[in-house]
A and B are shown apart, each in its own frame.
Chain A
């Protein structure tokens, strides 16, 4: 009996990621057939006919092709389920603001119903299946390769996602008046929860949390000081996208959140490596710990700043290209599309660098022993 139970346990211990993967695959399959859950009518495109292709040009000598297509398909949900329908769609080949559709795709319809006549236009493409598939692929890779630590990483992202959404709703309820308080305060909660999930509650986690909060706070203080000294020249808040409330505090909140993850990453990397080093070599001195930490930090700070740089700046590419193709100068294009991302990267970068001495100092003080520190001072 006992041997049997042990066998079952180790069986589960070994195979659970694969069960999650199979379960997830079934869910993705479910999402591919979830049309009934939507109130908006969905059309499954069965055939596409190109009616005309016309060359277009604008005052900047850009050239494009306008394509008119006729899509025939069948409605897959709601009251009109099973009804066959033909829809016309016009798009530019560059597909920046309009889309061309293919056979097999599902689209949402806006129905225009007169007394007898039933017609519709396409409002959006159904993307939930592709989204679910990519989520499934990521989770599968994570669980199979990283197993338990992968599960913990996933949990922390989900917990943070839920908290993030709660904070956003709270911000909406307060009309964005205290956006900095909400997201600044939540940054601390985010950090504590994430580290608790990823590391667990121990001395290492507390040290990392301290370094994270300290580093993020330092970067914000430095940023505000520089803003005050330079009168925010070259910071174009009007170029912020999707703004529905006062842009300046919103920008600061975005910067705090954006750099929080990286600062946390950095302190965890440094402190985890130092703890591993201490385990491998218990008689290591505080000075050596500080030196090793600074070396590890020095090696990863550049790449880490670049992580955020590419996240913040790469996603401005489509808009920047639009500006350039509209005959704007490079300078104006930079100011209106990339400058805020660059400011965010630089502020985060300063936070990331200042975290290194902070994390090393905290670690060597906590695990290095006091004697060696006294020796260092003399």
Chain B
């Protein structure tokens, strides 16, 4: 058995053991997301517009991750709406910034990987860079939206009569408790993944000026920042959506 298969099966066992049906759903969503990502890549290789492919993939991925992740249908629905709103805001930010900073494609540090490769590609790598940045934030958006919505749903379940103002306060409180660690998830996720690049920088003695203008590093830092901004935006948007939904639910109940 290959290592990837073994790890995948082990993850399935762990998830089912801890989460039951929900664990199975979580595992399926991971496999599905891999399929979606791979499929999006193949579509891009067939010259479909990368940004459009990414947007469609993004909404599908958010839906799958959130609906297969949560079990409270009301809170997951709200998490989904909020996450799509964040995705749209983020795309509006990413496109101009990527046009400005031009980090697309490969840097001089990649030259070993590019040896013997044809670089006549016919795909706009600027759009590929935009697609990459959007895709890398999808997980963070879904996770933050679910964390807030699940936390609020839990509080609502234990405290059905909490006032709307306190509910909003509770949303920001849960948000303020998760933001620090969510930032670190992103920080370590990205920088852990690029440890080798930093070791390269240190070993070759890049100057600060070279590092701050380096194509790969700037691209990487921007991806962290985009993810962080998406998490920041998710907190108020999900909280407000939750409060609005609870308000309308209570109005109906009163009538």
Collect the chain A residues with CB atoms within 8 Å of residue B69's CB: 299-303, 306
B95 touches A (CB below 8 Å): no
Collect the chain B residues with CB atoms within 8 Å of residue A259's CB: 188, 192
Collect the chain B residues with CB atoms within 8 Å of residue A63's CB: 120, 122
Judging by beta carbons under 8 Å apart, are A198 and B180 in contact? yes
B187 touches A (CB below 8 Å): yes
Judging by beta carbons under 8 Å apart, are B41 and A94 in contact? no
Judging by beta carbons under 8 Å apart, are A309 and B33 in contact? yes
**Pairs A–B under 8 Å by Cβ, sample size 17:** A130-B100, A134-B226, A157-B183, A157-B184, A257-B192, A262-B185, A294-B18, A301-B18, A306-B143, A310-B138, A311-B186, A311-B223, A315-B223, A322-B106, A334-B38, A339-B4, A342-B4
A203 touches B (CB below 8 Å): no
Residues of B in contact with A (beta carbons under 8 Å apart): 1-8, 10-11, 14-15, 18-20, 22-23, 25-27, 29-30, 33-34, 37-38, 41-42, 44-45, 65-66, 68-72, 93, 97, 100-106, 109-110, 113-114, 117-126, 128-129, 131-132, 135-140, 142-143, 146-147, 150-151, 154-155, 158-159, 170, 172-203, 209, 212-215, 218, 220-223, 225-229, 232-233, 235-236
Judging by beta carbons under 8 Å apart, are A305 and B26 in contact? yes
Collect the chain A residues with CB atoms within 8 Å of residue B142's CB: 303, 306-307
Contact of A318 among B1, B132, B137 (CB under 8 A): B132
Nearest residue (CB) in A for B189 is A311
**Interface pick from A4-12, A345-353, A363-371:** A345-353
Collect the chain A residues with CB atoms within 8 Å of residue B174's CB: 272-273, 276
Contact of B121 among A96, A131, A264 (CB under 8 A): A96
Collect the chain B residues with CB atoms within 8 Å of residue A325's CB: 45, 118, 121-123
Collect the chain A residues with CB atoms within 8 Å of residue B221's CB: 131, 135
Judging by beta carbons under 8 Å apart, are A244 and B196 in contact? yes
The B-contacting residues of A in range 220-268, CB under 8 angstroms, are 222-223, 226-227, 229-230, 232-235, 240-245, 250, 253-262, 264-265, 268
Judging by beta carbons under 8 Å apart, are A244 and B158 in contact? no
A137 touches B (CB below 8 Å): yes
Judging by beta carbons under 8 Å apart, are B180 and A153 in contact? yes
Collect the chain A residues with CB atoms within 8 Å of residue B93's CB: 137
Nearest residue (CB) in A for B153 is A299
Contact of B30 among A60, A226, A309, A315 (CB under 8 A): A309
A70 touches B (CB below 8 Å): no
A317 touches B (CB below 8 Å): yes
Collect the chain A residues with CB atoms within 8 Å of residue B212's CB: 127-128, 131
Contact of A302 among B65, B170, B173 (CB under 8 A): B65
Judging by beta carbons under 8 Å apart, are A343 and B4 in contact? yes
Contact of B136 among A176, A257, A295, A315 (CB under 8 A): A315
In the assembled complex, the Cα of A121 lies from the Cα of B90 at a distance in Å of 36
Contact of B188 among A153, A190, A232, A276 (CB under 8 A): A190
Collect the chain B residues with CB atoms within 8 Å of residue A315's CB: 132, 136, 193, 220, 223
In the assembled complex, the Cα of A36 lies from the Cα of B63 at a distance in Å of 49
Judging by beta carbons under 8 Å apart, are A299 and B70 in contact? yes
Judging by beta carbons under 8 Å apart, are B3 and A227 in contact? yes
Of the listed residues B20, B140, B172, the one surrounded by the most CB atoms of chain A closer than 10 A to its CB is B140
How many A residues have CB within 8 A of the partner chain? 147
In the assembled complex, the Cα of A164 lies from the Cα of B221 at a distance in Å of 14
In the assembled complex, the Cα of A223 lies from the Cα of B29 at a distance in Å of 22
Nearest residue (CB) in B for A320 is B41
**Interface pick from A18-26, A45-53, A79-87, A141-149:** A141-149
In the assembled complex, the Cα of A311 lies from the Cα of B44 at a distance in Å of 19
Judging by beta carbons under 8 Å apart, are B181 and A254 in contact? no
Return B151 CB to nearest CB of chain A, in Å. 5
Collect the chain B residues with CB atoms within 8 Å of residue A229's CB: 6
In the assembled complex, the Cα of A156 lies from the Cα of B227 at a distance in Å of 16
A85-117 vs B, Cβ < 8 Å mask (1 yes, 0 no): 000000011111111000000001000000000
Nearest residue (CB) in B for A66 is B120
Nearest residue (CB) in B for A338 is B38
Collect the chain A residues with CB atoms within 8 Å of residue B131's CB: 317
Nearest residue (CB) in B for A308 is B189
Collect the chain B residues with CB atoms within 8 Å of residue A99's CB: 102, 105
A168 touches B (CB below 8 Å): yes
Contact of A95 among B68, B126, B173, B218 (CB under 8 A): B126
Contact of A298 among B8, B18, B129, B236 (CB under 8 A): B18
A372 touches B (CB below 8 Å): no
Judging by beta carbons under 8 Å apart, are B154 and A296 in contact? yes
A324 touches B (CB below 8 Å): yes
Contact of B181 among A38, A169, A261 (CB under 8 A): A261
Judging by beta carbons under 8 Å apart, are B228 and A142 in contact? yes
Nearest residue (CB) in A for B101 is A130
In the assembled complex, the Cα of A354 lies from the Cα of B17 at a distance in Å of 10
Judging by beta carbons under 8 Å apart, are B6 and A311 in contact? no
Collect the chain A residues with CB atoms within 8 Å of residue B26's CB: 298, 301-302, 305
Collect the chain B residues with CB atoms within 8 Å of residue A146's CB: 172, 175-176, 179, 232, 235
Return B132 CB to nearest CB of chain A, in Å. 5
A313 touches B (CB below 8 Å): yes
A165 touches B (CB below 8 Å): yes
Judging by beta carbons under 8 Å apart, are B68 and A62 in contact? no
